[in-house]
Amino acid sequence: MDRFEAMAVLLAVVEEGSLSAASRRLRAPLATVSRKVADLERHLRAQLVVRTSRRIELTDAGRAYVEAAKRILEQVEEAEREAAGEYTALKGELQVTAPIVFGRTHVLPIALDFLKELPDIDLRLLLNDRQVNLAEEHIDVAVRIGHLVDSGLRATRVGAVRRVACASPAYLARRGIPATPRDLAVHDGITFRGFETAPEWRYRGDSPTWTAEPRTRIAVNSTEAAVAAAVAGLGIVRLLSYQIEKELRSGALVELLEGFAPEPFPVSLIYPEAGLLAPKARAFIDWTVPRLRAHLA
């Protein structure tokens, strides 16, 4: 039995929540995944997981073993990278994550030029509106939109994006234009729940910020669907400025309540402390920061 391989399979099962999901992620037969976990349990003479009809649960022994296996595999991976020269040369796989639309419109073009300049670096760009854990998912650099919590990571601010309420000209002709955020109460709304939580529609004025939202006519979990619903005249939507640049420029959507908008969200690159930063990641940061700042200016 290859114990490193068995550890990796077990971690995939735990992270994905089931044997079948791990099978899909590893592109391995379900029977193979199940056998490797069983072989590991026989080798350890301990039950690591409890299999149910829907998902797996770790036993106490399993939880302790999984934590140890994570540390071992991370150390092995770091040793392999160092042996391959990734910490002394500009080469190897670079893993970057960014929000879906922002990554596609702003990060990807910059990253493609970066790859042309450094042909020995391979890029894995994970576009996801979920906030990932850099250490757990082996991410070198992440683009974050919003205020950062103190996580022991370093951050470089590259700009800011606005929260924009908007609607189609047809909807506004039919229902009227809200003059203040409080007018939203009599309007239809499109709720975008693409992130882990749906942020409140907060506005500012002479007093502290307050919440004012339209009645949800439709709720969606993708930017494209939210924009399409707004362009179709279903109601007022609030998105980040980069998500609707094209529609605002073309006049398909009209910005509302601009004078009441809250402070913009900061956009930052986050990454480990300098001592843990590979040259390939440092090179990507140095390449990306000035270009993103120019894009967002």
* CA 220 – CA 234 distance, rounded (Å): 12
What confidence tens digit (pLDDT) does each residue in 239-256 have?
999 999 999 999 999 999
pTM of the shown model: 0.64
Can you say whether the dihedral through the CA atoms of 204, 208, 213, 219 is positive or negative? positive
> Can you tell me whether residue 271 is helix, strand or coil?
strand
- Report which of 154, 91, 111 is spatially closest to residue 291, judged by C-alpha positions: 111
* CA 48 – CA 63 distance, rounded (Å): 8
- Report which of 95, 69, 78 is spatially closest to residue 11, judged by C-alpha positions: 69
> Can you tell me whether residue 112 is helix, strand or coil?
helix
Identity (one letter) of the amino acid at 14? Answer: V
What confidence tens digit (pLDDT) does each residue in 131-167 have?
888 877 889 999 999 887 766 788 999 999 998 999 9
- Half-sphere exposure at residue 247, Cβ-oriented, CA atoms within 13 angstroms: 26
* CA 214 – CA 119 distance, rounded (Å): 50
What confidence tens digit (pLDDT) does each residue in 2-60 have?
888 888 998 888 888 888 888 888 888 989 998 999 998 898 888 988 877 677 888 88
Q: Helices 3-16 and 19-26 sit at what angle, rounded to 10 degrees?
A: 120
Judging by DSSP bridges, how do beta strands 49-51 and 254-256 pair with one another?
A: unpaired
What confidence tens digit (pLDDT) does each residue in 172-228 have?
999 999 999 889 999 999 987 755 444 567 666 555 666 788 999 999 988 899 999
What DSSP letter does each residue of 196-239 carry, written as one string? SS----EE-SSSS-EE---EEEEEESSHHHHHHHHHTTS-EEEE
Identity (one letter) of the amino acid at 83? Answer: A
In the chain the domains, ranked by start, together with CATH numbers, are: 3-83 (1.10.10.10), 92-152+274-296 (3.40.190.10), 163-260 (3.40.190.10)
* CA 20 – CA 282 distance, rounded (Å): 37
* CA 224 – CA 7 distance, rounded (Å): 39
* CA 3 – CA 9 distance, rounded (Å): 10
Identity (one letter) of the amino acid at 193? Answer: R
* CA 13 – CA 40 distance, rounded (Å): 13
In degrees to the nearest 10, what's the CA dihedral of 137, 142, 145, 146? Answer: 70
Tokens 């109460």: give the residue: 185
pLDDT at 92 over 70: yes
* CA 99 – CA 90 distance, rounded (Å): 26
pLDDT of residue 196: 46
